[in-house]
Amino acid sequence: MHFMGYPRKDGQAGTRNLVAVLPLVFCANHVARRIADAVRGAVAFPHPVGCGYPGPDQELTAHILKRLALHPNFGAVLFVGLGCERIRLEDLEPEVIERQKLLRSLSIQEVGDSCKAIARGVLLTQELAVGIARLSREKCPLSALNLGLKCGGTDAFSGLAANPALGLASDRLLEAGGTSLLTEITELCGTEKIMARRAVNPAVAERILTCVDKNVRRLHRATGSLEHNGAGTGMLVSPGNAEGGISNVVEKALGGLKKAGNAQFQDVLDYGCPPRGHGLYLMDGPGHDGEAVTGQVASGANLVAFTTGRGTPAGFPGVPVLKITGNPLLFKSMAANLDFDAGRLFSEGLALEALGRDLFEALLRTASGEPTKAELLGHEELFCISRFVATHRCYEGCGEV
Mind listing the pLDDT tens digit for each residue in 272-320?
Answer: 999 999 999 999 998 889 999 999 999 999 999 999 998 999 999 999 9
pLDDT category at 229 given cuts 50, 70, 90 is very low
Residue 228, pLDDT above cutoff 50: no
| Residue 252, CA distances (Å) to 163, 187, 323 in order | 11, 7, 18
Longest dimension (CA), the chain: 64
- What would the mean pLDDT of 179-191 be, rounded to a whole number? 92
Closest to 369 (Cα-Cα) out of 325, 322, 331, 335:
322
Residues facing residue 103 across a β-bridge:
77
Mind listing the pLDDT tens digit for each residue in 97-121?
Answer: 999 999 999 999 999 999 999 999 9
- pLDDT of the residue at 190: 87
Sequence-separated (6 or more) residues with CB below 8 Å from residue 268: 204, 207, 208, 211, 281, 282, 283, 284
Sign of CA dihedral 294, 297, 299, 303: positive
How would you classify residue 378: left for phi > 0, otherwise alpha for psi between -120 and 50, otherwise beta? left
- What would the mean pLDDT of 30-56 be, rounded to a whole number? 92
Residue 395, pLDDT above cutoff 90: no
Length of the chain: 401
Mind listing the pLDDT tens digit for each residue in 5-19?
Answer: 999 999 999 999 999
Count of CB atoms within 10 A of residue 335's CB?
Answer: 11
Residue 398, pLDDT above cutoff 70: no
Residue 233, pLDDT above cutoff 70: no
Which has the minimum average pLDDT: 47-51, 84-88, 335-339, 383-387? 383-387
CB 332 within 8 A of CB 347: no
- pLDDT of the residue at 267: 97
Global pTM exceeds 0.85: yes
In the chain, the amino acid numbered 102 is L
